[in-house]
Amino acid sequence: MPEVFGIGYATIDAILNGASYSIGFLLLLMMAKMVMTAVSIGGGFQGGVFAPALFLGATLGAAFGMVMELVFPSLHITPAAFAMVGMAAALVGAVHAPLTAILLLFEMTNDYHIILPLMLSVMFSLLLSQWIEKDSVYTLGLARKGLRIRRGQDIDVLEAIEVAEVMQTSPPHHFRQGASFDGGAGIADRAYTRAGGH
């Protein structure tokens, strides 16, 4: 099966353009690509997860669309639309980047009719994948080394600083009870000048 080697964009393109693959062949492609990707990444070879996630989503989505087409022939279902939604769902399941998947697939289709199923599948995929594993494929290796990355980004520097560490407990200037406003204005003016004001 030459379709499982390489990036797989040609196969994805063929699926999206309505190539006449059978349901069994699409499922076989999906399983073979999954095994080849696992062998490639696990063996330390060069390769990523972005294109394989799109490939897996396209094959499974198209196969599901073909099943729905057989079950509901009067609905005029297009398996290619299911393939696109599957691509977004698989991508989100791997990288936990819902906005990226939604915008990427919407940009590919330019069809607003696909937005609702796209968003629903992405939301379900994100919830399910985060329930199974909190980290994405990109942050999982770091988490295993003890480097925790929350919300998909580095921890904000200010989150690591306690307020008590930087808070000045005694104010630099005290006002006496009954002091005139002119005295307070002078202190404020000197502070403003020292801070770079004119």
Q: Residue 67: pLDDT band by 50, 70, 90 thresholds? A: very high
**DSSP at 153:** B
Backbone angles phi, psi at 150, to 5 degrees: -105, 150
Nearest CA-CA partner of 75 in 86, 64, 62, 65:
65
Q: Six-digit token pair at 153?
A: 């980004």
175: helix, strand or coil: coil
pLDDT (0 to 100) of residue 86? 93
Sheet strands (E) in 56-185 = none
Give the whole-angstrom CA distance, residue 47 versus residue 152.
21
> What DSSP assignment string belongs to 31-67?
HHHHHHHHHHHHTT-S--SHHHHHHHHHHHHHHHHHH
Min mean pLDDT across 53-67, 74-88, 108-122, 163-177 is at 163-177
Question: Residues 93-136: pLDDT tens digits?
Answer: 988 889 988 988 888 877 788 888 889 999 999 999 989 988 88
Question: Residues 142-167: pLDDT tens digits?
Answer: 777 777 666 545 556 667 778 777 77
